[in-house]
Amino acid sequence: MRDVWGVTFWTSSKTIDVHLGWVRRKLGDDTRQPRLITTIRGQGLRFEATEADLTGTA
């Protein structure tokens, strides 16, 4: 968080988890079994896109 936002005070790493949960809910993604935004342990987050997402077809 220090590198990204320049936070100089102690804060919980759960802050990111909370905000990510809000984003997932807004997108309609299941927070317990996410399909749109997945967590890559030790690396970060990945946005998932399917062929239908890219072409706009279902």
Structure confidence by residue, pLDDT tens digits, 43-58:
888 988 775 665 666 5
Residues ≥6 apart with Cβ < 8 Å to 40: 46
Interval 27-45 mean pLDDT: 85
Residue 47 in domain: yes
Q: Which domain holds residue 26?
A: 12-55
pLDDT confidence of residue 6? 80
Q: How far apart are CA 30 and CA 24, in angstroms?
A: 7
Quick one: the chain helix, strand, coil %, rounded to 5? Answer: 40, 15, 45
Nearest-CA neighbor of 27 among 58, 49, 55, 4? 49
Residue 4 in domain: no
Number of domain units in the chain: 1
Interval 24-51 mean pLDDT: 84
Residue 6 in domain: no
Q: How far apart are CA 7 and CA 20, in angstroms?
A: 18
| High-pLDDT (> 70) share of the chain, % | 79
In the predicted model, is pLDDT for residue 3 greater than 70? yes
β-bridge mates for residue 46, sequence order: 38
Residue 46 in domain: yes
The structure's pTM equals: 0.59
Residue 25 in domain: yes
